[in-house]
Structure 1
Amino acid sequence: MFRSRRSMLKSASCGFGYLAFQSLFQQQLLAESSSLVAKAPALPARAKRVIFLCMSGGPAQLDMFDYKPQVGKKKHPGSVYKFQQHGESGLWASELVPEMARHADKLCMINGMYADTGNHAQSFLQLHTGEKLRKRPSMGSWINYGLGTENQNLPGFISLNAAKPSVYSSVFLPPIFEGTPIGVNGEDMSQAMINDISSDHLSPTKKRKQLDFVQAMNRQHLAQRPDDTQLDGVIESMELAFRMQMTAPEILDLSSETQETIQRYRVGEKLSVGTCRPTDFGRQCLLARRFAEAGVRFIEVNHGSWDQHKNHRRDLEANCKTTDAPIAALLDDLEMRGMLDDTLVVWGGEFGRPGLTPENGKDETGHNYRGFTFWMAGGGTKGGYVHGKTNETGARSVEGKVHFRDLHATILHLLGLPHEQLAYFHEGRNHRLTGPEEAKVVQELFA
């Protein structure tokens, strides 16, 4: 299932008339390759789903997780914030993230991350798609393609507070695997919804009859264009949208949650300081838990405005205050519900930041793609563990280096998907999330 059926079809049809052979197997191809039906992983899976906490803009890892004490007569760049060790593991975390620090023994810290470029757009694209220049399917779309969804009434991939279409695009994969965006960066998430799935102008019975009529015409049209996956994707999307009318509004409605839960997630709190856009991040985290419970395979939670150059302390503190408690509440709830074991939570951004130099008095930072931090929790990862390290100034990764390709390969492996085989035939060759270059599964991260 991991190599494109289209490539196998072309190989098998040599000498027998491609169009005739293709027509014979068209229904099987569409059913298997372009469907959201849940698929069995090829490898033993440690995780069933992913929640990706995307901190776009470059979070300052030296002020949060990668502790570099100021030593020597001439102090090197580092953090101006207090650090201490937490949990039985003694994992280091700063005073900016006290709630996440409670979960120290659940966190699998990757301090040896590195990327190819310090440009936001290119590195952000590479984080999501494996490519820094060309449009390629996003990680969520690849996982959706490989595993399908556990709930046929919901998409397999949802992007909350989406920063840009590149984070949820399926590009050349069948459109049914594209992510469904809910809200856009900076929007009031209490008003966010899935577009065009709700209406009260017809009863459910009449809506079904109307859709059946439209779909009959669509399928007749498709019969004359049997290799048109875009058209097939439209047909499947319309069916999914009809089913979502019964399920999605209930998940987006938080009225069934207790007031204690609303407070723990800080739902409704909006903070706008400096470059930090007002956002209801707590609502996103609570929605992520609810969508995960409902069977969505990949949920991306986006928080922008980590691009802090001037006024670094002010804006960093605002971002940490906004995200710390909701993320901790999400981890609390996943553990309490017995979901953390098979839910992989991933935190990080497109790169990190160099440390401040206390002597010069400046409150400015730049970009650092040579050494930064991601962390994982649950989903079969090793809790209370630190993998890799940067040099004494945090300027570059020097041990246990992990590239975005390696991160992607590792996430896929935890889900039971071999990254070398998860491929799709397009424009004459097979494409993969991890690309043609070498990628390694970081086995040291596994529990």
Structure 2
Amino acid sequence: MHDLIESNLSRVTRRQFFGKSASGVGLAALASLLQRDGALAADAPATRGAPALPGLPHFAPKAKRVVVLWQGGGPSHVDLFDDKPMMRQRAGQDIPDSVRGSTRLSTMSSGYGKWPCLPAIKPHKAYGKSGIVMSEMLPNVGKIADEICLVRSMNTEAVNHAPGVTFFMTGAQVPGRPSMGAWLSYGLGSMTDNLPAFVVMTSSDRGKTCGQLFFDYYWGSGFLPSRFQGVRFRNTGDLVPYLTNPQGVSSESRRALLDEMAAMNAAHMADYGDPEIETRISQYEMAFRMQSSVPDLVDFTKETKSTLDRYGPDALVKGTFANNCLIARRLLERGVSFVQLMHAGWDQHGNLHTQLAEQCKDTEGPSAALVQDLKDRGMLDSTLVIWGGEFGRTPFGQGDPKNPKGRDHFGRAFSWWMAGGGVKPGTVYGATDEFGWNITQDPVHVHDMQATILHLCGIDHTRLTYRYQGRQYRLTDVHGNVVKGILA
């Protein structure tokens, strides 16, 4: 017991030493931050962004920016991206036991006695010079077929929405770990002082089908310092709260207030060395700078009519997926490194025949427009675009076996597409069996995809780690391999 007390006292002494010493690491970092922001040195030269960790990137990145077009609920791979003629021949017949095996399914269908094969509800066709076959419900994605890599062999252990989303975003099905955007912000720093490095926007199908909730931990920082978490832009009112000064408060007064608060926080930092104090100051400063950068961000008057038409009729409707895609391009132009658009509405358990086409109508056009827009501006080669959801949908129909109305969750095999940022364009990677059930070629697990994304950003996923609770953690945990077949 005596040894334990002495050990604890020793740790407290060290913490106090580094916190109170003028040469402490935390205070030095704070001084650098304040000098950069002008709170301690008004004449200090301006810098752009925040530096990467020492030694990062590990090698030259293909992607300097990442945008994730998240389709929450589970887009149906067999309806959209992985057409199976055999399923049309066997429509209504049970999918054989030899195909289904011991596949883990959700509780909504794991006890079914019937497994009626449900083929794609709309015809498919070949698009582009590459001849990639996709649903006719994806005409705009078809127009960029020669820019995308369609991955038909994604797989995950998750069978429910929140664990599935959390798995890709953080590397674990249980909340608490840092999100991918937080890892990249932590490792690679930022390219701008005027906007966050990591921005999140959400949208939904506006009540057309079963929407999914958006939890903060999908873009959280987990055990990393909280300054690396994503900043969520709102769908109503100001994009970010408190950007507007209260009535009667001038920008000069606010600047003076921030300087006084920075000085008080600096004193607190010197006493305790808490990195969250540094976060607090940096966030105050970011909010002040965003007072001028955000109004410009959402000033669409300089966008051409042809550009707005490309994003569709909802391009200027706040809170829509189309509007978020347009803002995403403007964020990427202004130096934001990681943009995460989260759209809910792909959970078609009982309305597949009516609402799947509506989801495509709302989202596939803006998704394709973003890719084409980036290409036209010379940004696609250095921007990685990712389109996908937490899993696919079952090849069998859900509901009345004689007249199924929907599909259940399905993680054994599903499809994503990627574009730009070092991805091989106009290609299909991976394959499934004649029922779209089992992967027959080149499986890509969630951890493999995470490793590949980090690789495209110049990061060896095994070397970007953070020590927490006595062990080194990483986004891919102890798993994951770079999928070299999708690299250009």
Could you say if the C-alpha distance between residues 72 and 230 of structure 1 is closer, same or farther in structure 2, counting changes exceeding 3 Å? closer
CA displacement at 1:357 relative to structure 2: 5.3
- Listed as ranges, the gaps of 5+ residues in structure 1 are 1-12, 184-188, 272-277
Letter in 2 for 1:416: G
Q: Distance in 1 between matches of 2:357 and 2:462?
A: 41
1:265 counterpart residue number: 311
1:284 to 324, 334, 358: 324
Q: Distance in 2 between matches of 1:421 and 1:73?
A: 49
CA deviations over 1:270-292 (Å, ceiling 9, x no partner): 99xxxxxx962110100000000
Map 1:378-417 → 2, pairs under 5 A: 378-417=420-459
Q: Is the 8 A contact 2:86 2:435 kept in 1?
A: no
Letter in 2 for 1:42: H
Q: Is the 8 A contact 1:157 1:180 kept in 2?
A: yes
2:374 counterpart residue number: 334
Could you say if the C-alpha distance between residues 269 and 338 of structure 1 is closer, same or farther in structure 2, counting changes exceeding 3 Å? closer
1:37 counterpart residue number: 50
Could you say if the C-alpha distance between residues 422 and 127 of structure 1 is closer, same or farther in structure 2, counting changes exceeding 3 Å? same
The residue matched to 2:121 in structure 1 has which SS?
coil
CA displacement at 1:260 relative to structure 2: 2.7
2:417 counterpart residue number: 375
The residue matched to 1:208 in structure 2 has which SS?
helix
Q: Distance in 1 between matches of 2:348 and 2:188?
A: 37
Could you say if the C-alpha distance between residues 422 and 201 of structure 1 is closer, same or farther in structure 2, counting changes exceeding 3 Å? farther
Q: Is the 8 A contact 1:379 1:414 kept in 2?
A: yes
2:239 to 180, 193, 200: 193
1:255 counterpart residue number: 301
Q: Is the 8 A contact 1:79 1:356 kept in 2?
A: no
Could you say if the C-alpha distance between residues 27 and 216 of structure 1 is closer, same or farther in structure 2, counting changes exceeding 3 Å? closer
Q: Is the 8 A contact 2:75 2:347 kept in 1?
A: yes
Larger CA deviation: 161-170 vs 25-34: 25-34
Q: Is the 8 A contact 2:148 2:425 kept in 1?
A: yes
1:237 counterpart residue number: 283
Q: Distance in 2 between matches of 1:130 and 1:31?
A: 34
Q: Is the 8 A contact 1:267 1:283 kept in 2?
A: no
Could you say if the C-alpha distance between residues 360 and 254 of structure 1 is closer, same or farther in structure 2, counting changes exceeding 3 Å? same
Identity of aligned residues (%): 37
Could you say if the C-alpha distance between residues 32 and 53 of structure 1 is closer, same or farther in structure 2, counting changes exceeding 3 Å? farther
Task: Give RMSD over aligned pairs.
Answer: 2.7
Q: Distance in 2 between matches of 1:270 and 1:70?
A: 43
Could you say if the C-alpha distance between residues 44 and 33 of structure 1 is closer, same or farther in structure 2, counting changes exceeding 3 Å? farther
CA displacement at 1:64 relative to structure 2: 1.1
Letter in 2 for 1:335: K
CA deviations over 1:54-86 (Å, ceiling 9, x no partner): 000101111111121236853443312111111
Q: Is the 8 A contact 1:352 1:372 kept in 2?
A: yes
Q: Distance in 2 between matches of 1:17 and 1:159?
A: 38
If the length of structure 1 is used for normalisation, what is the TM-score? 0.88
Q: Is the 8 A contact 2:149 2:417 kept in 1?
A: yes
The residue matched to 2:150 in structure 1 has which SS?
strand
2:109 counterpart residue number: none
Q: Is the 8 A contact 2:191 2:335 kept in 1?
A: yes
2:466 to 424, 436, 441: 424
Q: Distance in 1 between matches of 2:202 and 2:283?
A: 21
Letter in 1 for 2:121: V
> 1:104 and 2:145 equivalent?
yes
1:179 counterpart residue number: 230
Q: Distance in 2 between matches of 1:269 and 1:308?
A: 25
Could you say if the C-alpha distance between residues 192 and 365 of structure 1 is closer, same or farther in structure 2, counting changes exceeding 3 Å? farther
Q: Distance in 1 between matches of 2:175 and 2:33?
A: 23
Which has the larger Rg? 2
Q: Distance in 2 between matches of 1:192 and 1:114?
A: 38
The residue matched to 1:42 in structure 2 has which SS?
coil
> 1:47 and 2:63 equivalent?
yes
The residue matched to 2:272 in structure 1 has which SS?
coil
Q: Is the 8 A contact 2:16 2:271 kept in 1?
A: no
Q: Distance in 2 between matches of 1:398 and 1:346?
A: 23
Q: Is the 8 A contact 2:87 2:434 kept in 1?
A: no
- Listed as ranges, the gaps of 5+ residues in structure 2 are 1-9, 37-48, 92-116, 204-213
Q: Distance in 1 between matches of 2:240 and 2:18?
A: 39
Letter in 2 for 1:350: E
CA displacement at 1:20 relative to structure 2: 4.2
CA deviations over 1:13-68 (Å, ceiling 9, x no partner): 99x96764675433466689999604251211000010000000101111111121
Q: Distance in 1 between matches of 2:419 and 2:32?
A: 32
2:162 counterpart residue number: 121
The residue matched to 2:85 in structure 1 has which SS?
coil
Letter in 1 for 2:444: V
Letter in 1 for 2:50: V
1:151 counterpart residue number: 192
Could you say if the C-alpha distance between residues 434 and 33 of structure 1 is closer, same or farther in structure 2, counting changes exceeding 3 Å? farther
2:85 counterpart residue number: 69
CA displacement at 1:438 relative to structure 2: 2.1
> 1:216 and 2:280 equivalent?
no
1:311 counterpart residue number: 351
Q: Is the 8 A contact 2:65 2:338 kept in 1?
A: yes
Q: Is the 8 A contact 2:118 2:395 kept in 1?
A: yes
The residue matched to 1:160 in structure 2 has which SS?
strand
2:387 counterpart residue number: 347
Letter in 2 for 1:177: F
The residue matched to 1:291 in structure 2 has which SS?
helix
The residue matched to 2:286 in structure 1 has which SS?
helix
The count of corresponding residues between Structure 1 and Structure 2 is 421
The residue matched to 1:210 in structure 2 has which SS?
helix
CA deviations over 1:347-399 (Å, ceiling 9, x no partner): 00110102355983322210101100111100010011111112211123232
1:320 counterpart residue number: 360
The residue matched to 1:202 in structure 2 has which SS?
coil
Q: Is the 8 A contact 1:270 1:279 kept in 2?
A: no
Could you say if the C-alpha distance between residues 214 and 32 of structure 1 is closer, same or farther in structure 2, counting changes exceeding 3 Å? closer
The residue matched to 2:125 in structure 1 has which SS?
strand
CA displacement at 1:161 relative to structure 2: 1.3
